[in-house]
Amino acid sequence: MKRTTVTLPDDLAKVVQEEARRSGTSVSEVVRRSLFESLLGSEPRDLPFAGIFDDPDMTPAAEMEGELDRSWAHDLDRDRR
């Protein structure tokens, strides 16, 4: 994580401090979440289903392009005719 200094007007700093106190978190976390939501459209969140697939027979994402080329080549050739 990168440390950045931001200067806020007194009234905004007070609002951020009050939100941190209300939510039981740090001022830094309030600012991070606010920036994330403002710039990227939503708050960061944990994905409860991340990592549930651990199947050795599945094609890794890094190899998916080649797998699609191999498995769909016949269909693509047929459609071009």
Whether residue 1 lies inside any domain: the answer is: no
Whether residue 19 lies inside any domain: the answer is: yes
| Chain segment 36-73, per-residue pLDDT in tens | 888 877 766 666 666 666 677 777 778 888 887 777 77
Whether residue 5 lies inside any domain: the answer is: no
| Res 52: pLDDT | 64
Enclosing domain of residue 38:
10-44+57-80
Structure token pair of residue 26: 């740090």
Whether residue 50 lies inside any domain: the answer is: no
CA dist 33 → 22, 24, 25, 51, 54 (Å):
15, 14, 11, 24, 31
